[in-house]
Amino acid sequence: MTQPAKPATLPTLVPPPAEFAAQANVSGMEAYKALYESAVNDPAAFWGHLAETELDWFQRFDKALDWQPPFAKWFSGGKINVSYNCLDRHTKTARKNKAAIIFEGEPGDQRIITYQELHRLVCRFASSLLTLGLETGDRAIIYMPMIPEAAIAMLACARLGIPHSVVFGGFSAEALKARIQDLEAKVVLTADGGWRRGKEVKLKEAVDEALKFCPTVEHVVVYQRTGSAVHLESGRDHWWHVLDETAREEVPAVELDSEHPLYVLYTSGTTGKPKGILHTTGGYLLQCTMTMKWVFDLKESDTYWCTADVGWVTGHSYVVYGPLSAGATTVMYEGAPDTPAFDRWWRLVDKYKVSIFYTSPTAIRALIRQGDHWPERHKLDSIRLLGSVGEPINPAAWEWFHRVIGGNRCPIVDTWWQTETGAIMIAAMPGAVPLKPGSGTLPMPGLVAEIVDNHGNLVPEGHEGFLILKTPWPGMLRTIWGDPERFKEQYWSKVPGAYFTGDAARRDKDGYYWILGRVDDVMNVSGHRLSTMEIESALVRHPAVAESAVVGKPHEITGQAVCCFVTLKKGISDHEKLGVELRQWVAHEIGPFARPEEIRFTEALPKTRSGKIMRRLLREIVTSHTVAGDVTTLEDMNVLTSLSAQHDED
């Protein structure tokens, strides 16, 4: 293994390369500013015009925006279907034989699916869902590997107006169960398993486990991916391929209200219970489509690859809905970047001549560590644009990505957004906006992003504060599924009338945004959001645990790692065994990706006099190994001394 790259000296301003700007969808700063201004000045006219010209409607909308804060309706009265916009409309043009999906499985199997063929497969699967008696408004859970059938399942649901919730395959049966229950899903779409690092991730087993407690589920459809033996519950479980035998080739897309729920995606919040973020139809699709063109500068000839799993919002907006609506060729890869070797991604870029490559800083850091000889083995000159998402991109990762992967030729769009925002909010239009490495640069058209203090007052230029969004946007979340009160409280109460992002940021003299990370009890591990409370509640469900406090600790590759402070019930002391067991326990309760890096046993946790755990102090201990902050509200100073001392013994 080579050493991690030395801290790089980076240019402070990287203007769009002339050649790139010359061909860009949005070329030059003036063009960006004109778009931004016209959207700010008259959002309804701006988005209304784009909705009419960029999407296909069955019935035109009456009103572009109906804004009753914090509830927005976009394109009211309009009838539209996402699946129609992603498929049918392309099959009426020369795109019909263009590759919609280029897929490679981890074992090396490949499929190239044209728009026409994808349309056919989606119709057939929609037909199977109809055979099971599913109707518009019923809910589906999708728990699948990264294979085309995951996208097919999503698009078939969208076609019928069945709101779906994709659950990342790395989530456990427990987490799956909670999501099925909250959504009151009628059907679960899954597979026997998927391939990851040469091993099978057994999905159907987890479904069986979860369904012991999910009375709303009437049907399970199982796609055969790995061929391993699975149990099929008669009357409930159906093979995908058996249903397909009698499927129809044409199933019309249902004409849905623009505000019809498209999907619910669960994300961690500041309590133990994940929030079901609701996205609807017309507005969401428009924003995904436009950002494909603005930020990814999408052209007819591009081969576009976003490495995210469909289980995360990035997979929804930028593997499936955005690219397909915009008529792109989207690459899907099932497995791990290191299987069979660390050049798997670069091999794929070379093989399929990927031109736009979108990934995360955590993946970049992991690959840097393996050495430059892996990418150097492959021709990467098909790439013309790079993208990053999930956390701020650190200088060493930026420099390497730009030089080694982008051949010093490609702009890097650093895209700031969230599950809640549905689509990219702050990012460069790469032919227009000069980059500043580490900054997301400027907001998307019409978006008013401000930095404020605790009282909602603007902070001076260059100062740190809370990032809020002051204007509604088409792709915004509409509510938290089944909990509008939590929606109001979580996002709209901190600064009245504004959307609270939960991120700290500063804005520099050029209006560029620098995101500094979360300000709530949410960790960012490998670009995925994890809630401290969720892990704490998992830990205290273990019979040996009395109390726990979880904090994120800086980590070279994953950005943050999960560090748990645990106090045990009286009489329990086998720390070594329990440490292993508790890490496994969290993986079982939430999913392997949430497995804590570290469990620290302690006699007591630092608390305020009112009994609140002072996670801030614990964060300081794991970050700097000392406590410098204010401890005047701390109940028992001795706790701190012993916690810091414990580290010195490590």
Residues of the shown chain interacting with ligand WT7 in the complex, contacts defined by CB under 6 A: 267, 313-314, 389-392, 414-419, 440, 501-503, 515, 517-518, 524, 527-529
Helix/strand/coil for 407: coil
Cβ–Cβ < 8 Å for 459, 514:
no
Least CB distance to ligand WT7 at residue 393 (A): 7
Helix/strand/coil for 633: coil
User: Based on CB atoms, which residue is closest to ligand WT7, 354 or 389?
Assistant: 389
Q: What is Dmax (Cα atoms) for the chain? A: 73
**Euclidean distance between the first and final Cα of the chain, in Å?**
26
Q: Which of 423, 342, 355 is nearest to 385 (CA)?
A: 355
User: Based on CB atoms, which residue is closest to ligand WT7, 313 or 363?
Assistant: 313
What phi, psi does 6 have (nearest 5°)?
A: -65, 150
Beta strands in 105-230 (DSSP E): 110-114, 140-143, 164-166, 187-191, 193-196, 199-202, 219-223
Cβ–Cβ < 8 Å for 111, 334:
no
Least CB distance to ligand WT7 at residue 335 (A): 20
User: Based on CB atoms, which residue is closest to ligand WT7, 355 or 560?
Assistant: 560
Least CB distance to ligand WT7 at residue 616 (A): 18
Residue 291 DSSP label: H
Least CB distance to ligand WT7 at residue 601 (A): 30
Least CB distance to ligand WT7 at residue 540 (A): 24
User: Based on CB atoms, which residue is closest to ligand WT7, 283 or 392?
Assistant: 392
Least CB distance to ligand WT7 at residue 24 (A): 20
Least CB distance to ligand WT7 at residue 275 (A): 10
User: Based on CB atoms, which residue is closest to ligand WT7, 122 or 495?
Assistant: 495
Contacting residues for 190 by C-beta, under 8 A, at least 6 apart:
142, 143, 144, 203, 204, 207, 220, 221, 222, 223
User: Based on CB atoms, which residue is closest to ligand WT7, 434 or 527?
Assistant: 527
Q: Which of 431, 432, 433, 359 is nearest to 400 (CA)?
A: 359
Least CB distance to ligand WT7 at residue 310 (A): 13
Tokens of 559: 């950005």
Side by side, the strands of the sheet bearing 99-104 are: 110-114, 99-104, 329-333, 303-306, 356-359, 385-389, 412-415
Angle of CA points 432, 437, 440, to nearest 5°: 65
CA 158: distance to chain centroid? 19
User: Based on CB atoms, which residue is closest to ligand WT7, 325 or 419?
Assistant: 419
User: Based on CB atoms, which residue is closest to ligand WT7, 414 or 589?
Assistant: 414
Tokens of 637: 């100073």
User: Based on CB atoms, which residue is closest to ligand WT7, 332 or 515?
Assistant: 515
User: Based on CB atoms, which residue is closest to ligand WT7, 187 or 426?
Assistant: 426
The 10 Å CB-count burial string (b at 16+, else e) for 628-640 is eeeeeebbeeebb
Percent helix, strand, coil in the chain (nearest 5)? 35, 25, 40
Least CB distance to ligand WT7 at residue 505 (A): 9
Least CB distance to ligand WT7 at residue 503 (A): 5
User: Based on CB atoms, which residue is closest to ligand WT7, 206 or 424?
Assistant: 424
Least CB distance to ligand WT7 at residue 469 (A): 11
User: Based on CB atoms, which residue is closest to ligand WT7, 27 or 307?
Assistant: 307
Round to whole Å and give the CA distance between 187 and 184: 9
Least CB distance to ligand WT7 at residue 364 (A): 12
Cβ–Cβ < 8 Å for 206, 236:
no
